[in-house]
Structure 1
Amino acid sequence: MTSGYIAIDWGSTNLRAWHYRDGVCVDSRQTAAGVTRLNGKSPQAVFDEVTHGWREQDTPVLMAGMVGSNAGWKIAPYLPCPAPFASLSQQLTPVLDKVWIIPGLSVQHDDNCNVMRGEETQLLGAKTLSPAPLYIMPGTHCKWVHADERTVQDFRTVMTGELHHLLLNYSLIGAGLPEQKESFSAFNAGLERGINDRDLLPRLFEVRAAHVLGGLPREEVSEFLSGLLIGNEAAAMTRHYALDNQQPVTLVANPSLSRRYVTALSLLGFRTKVLDGDEAFQAGIRSIANAVAN
């Protein structure tokens, strides 16, 4: 174990940082200065502020996320899949002395063109904490990752979270709706529809029609739509990866999202192991910090 390091998750809209000594987090900081919200400051100025008082001369700093994109501080190349997990610590992009950005991952085939940046660090941690043949990383853009013990073989991205937001807020489906409320029954009804019907596009307008005609409570449209989209996603992706449902899959998500995906996968006959996203990220950074120290 390296004696100390700084971990930074630097996305588009937020930056979170943790200071570790002897494997223990001794301080953490958060700011809204994501790479698209620097407000005229340079990336180094933001970096200096968020690490102020933490850095000793030899303290390594590992950064992941959009900081390594073409909108960030310095471009960290994508590693093409299949990619060994070990390559994440072997192909770091230096920014300053003992400051590195972790590379992203990419897939480029005739039937699949994909990139990830930031999730690869969570993925490394998940592999350490809860190895599985498939990792599901829900969020705005959900990642479904096929891997073995040593290598990330392939992954795909499903824009379920973003699509839910756009449909509810900027389409006819959500026009004129009252404040939405949580409803397990509406979510489960949408989930069953999404799992059992592959024709998603025609079903989307039916969400609008259902609440206009009184078949769906207007304050439960968000929950039904969430279930419809997640159910369709889970059914499509488990078919694609032709999984053996005797092997549990690993979910990396916050509790609210993980509950929804656990329910969907359970209806499809799959068992799940759940990891918190921050826990997985920290485990991934720790693994890379140890590799750098050695």
Structure 2
Amino acid sequence: MTSRYIAIDWGSTNLRAWHYQDGICIDSRQTTAGVTRLNGKTPEAVFDEVTQGWREKTTPVLMAGMVGSNAGWKIAPYLPCPARFSDLSQQLTPVLDNVWIIPGLCVQSDGNCNVMRGEETQLLGARTLGPSSLYIMPGTHCKWVHADNETVQDFRTVMTGELHHILLNHSLIGAGLPEQQTSREAFEAGLHRGINDSDLLPRLFEIRAAHVLGELPRSEVSEFLSGLLIGNEVAAMTRLYAPDTQQPVTIVANPSLSQRYIKALELLGYQAKVLDGDNAFQAGIRSIANAVAN
């Protein structure tokens, strides 16, 4: 194991960094200086600030996320799928001495065109911490990843989180609503609807009609909408990938978001195990750092 390294998750809106020594995180930092929020600073200036006092010339630094996009510091090419997990450590993009960006992954086929940046590092860690043939990575843009022990075969992206935000905040569905409340009953009602009805588009306006007519409490629209979208997503993607009902899928996310997907999967007869996203990311970075050191 390399004795010392720095891991950076540099996205569009945030940057998180961890300083490791002898396999232990000895310090961490976080800033809102994502690649779209540099406020006139160069990426190198932000990098120097966030690693100040940590970095010696020989300290390996591994970065993942939008820092490798065309809006970031330097473009790190996408690796086409099927892609071996080992390729991630073998095709790093150098930025400075001992500073590299981890490549993203892409799919280009007749029926699927997809990209990911940052999730590939979580995926690498998840493969060690919770191996599976199907990984679900919920968030603004949820990734569904089909893999074996050696290779990422295919993945899809579902814009469930972003769609929920847009519909609730910028459409007629959410117009004039009061502060939203947590409601397990409303979420599960939406979940059942989303799972059992593949015609999602006609159902969306019905949410507006339901709260106007008093069928749905106005404070629970967000929860019902969340259930409807997640239920529809999980039903569609499990039809596509047809995971083994005897083998759990791996969900990589924070606990609260994971529970929503677990419930949807349970209703469809699937088991799931959950990994914390940060833990998966750091395990992925660790394996790359060790490969670089060797």
TM-score (norm 1): 1.00
> Match for residue 158 of structure 1?
158
Residue of structure 1 equivalent to 2:115: 115
Partner SS for 1:18:
strand
**CA deviation after TM superposition for structure 1 residue 72, in Å:** 0.2
8 A contact 2:14–2:33 mirrored in 1: yes
Q: SS of 1:270's equivalent?
A: coil
SS in 2 for 1:284: helix
1:26 positional shift: 0.3
Q: Could you tell me which amino acid in structure 1 is paired with residue 162 of structure 2?
A: E
Q: Tell me which moved more, 223-232 or 238-247.
A: 238-247
Distance, in Å, in 2 between the alignment partners of 1:102 and 1:224 is: 38
- Partner Cα distance (2:4, 2:205) in 1: 54
Q: What does 1:184-199 correspond to in 2, within 5 Å? A: 184-199=184-199
The whole-number CA distance in structure 2 between the counterparts of 1:256 and 1:215 is 27
Q: After superposition, where does 1:21-170 map in structure 2 within 5 Å? A: 21-170=21-170
Q: CA deviation at 1:57?
A: 2.1
1:238 aligns with 2:244: no
Q: 1:241 and 1:232 mapped to 2: Cα distance?
A: 14
Question: Does 1:17 pair with 2:22?
Answer: no
C-alpha offsets along residues 66-108 of structure 1, whole Å, 9 cap, x if unaligned? 0000000000000000000000000000000000000000000
2:20 and 2:73 map into 1 onto residues whose CA distance is 23
Name structure 2 gaps, 5 residues minimum: none
Which residue number in structure 1 is paired with residue 290 of structure 2?
290
Distance, in Å, in 2 between the alignment partners of 1:276 and 1:191 is 23
Instruction: State the AA in 1 paired with 2:73.
Output: W
State the 1:56 CA deviation. Answer: 1.5
Amino acid at match of 1:8: I
Aligned length: 294
Q: Does 1:249 align with 2:249?
A: yes
Deviation for aligned residue 1:266: 0.7
- Structure 1 consecutive aligned stretches of length 4 or more whose deviation exceeds 3 Å: none
Separation in structure 2 between the aligned mates of residue 67 and residue 192 of structure 1, nearest angstrom: 39
Q: Distance in 2 between matches of 1:166 and 1:256?
A: 21
How far 1:202 moved relative to its partner? Answer: 0.4
CA distance in 1, matches of 2:10, 2:258: 23
CA distance in 2, matches of 1:74, 1:54: 22
Displacement of 1:242 in angstroms is 1.6
Q: CA–CA distance in 2 between the matches of 1:161 and 1:46?
A: 29
Q: Matched residues in 2 for 1:210 and 1:203: separation? A: 10
SS in 1 for 2:210: helix
Counterpart residue type for residue 192 of structure 1: H
The answer as to whether partners of 2:243 and 2:249 remain within 8 angstroms in 1 is: no
| SS of residue matched to 1:155 | strand
SS of aligned partner of 2:152:
strand
Cross-structure match for 1:205: 205
Structure 1 residue identity aligned to 2:192? E
Q: Find the aligned partners of 2:129 and 2:259 in 1 and give their Cα distance.
A: 19
Q: Which amino acid aligns with 2:274?
A: V
Residues 260-294 of structure 1, C-alpha deviation per residue, up to 9 Å, x if partnerless? 00110011111001000000000000000000000
Residue 229 of structure 1 deviates from its aligned partner by 0.1
d(CA) in 2 for partners of 1:242 and 1:169? Answer: 34
In 2, Cα distance between the equivalents of 1:143 and 1:184?
24
Q: Which consecutive unaligned segments of at least 5 residues does structure 1 have?
A: none
- TM-score for the superposition, normalised by structure 2: 1.00
Cα distance between partner residues in 2 of 1:57 and 1:108: 39
Aligned residue type for 1:138: P
CA distance in 1, matches of 2:161, 2:111: 22
Partner Cα separation in structure 2 for residue 208 and residue 221 of structure 1: 8
Partner of 1:269: 269
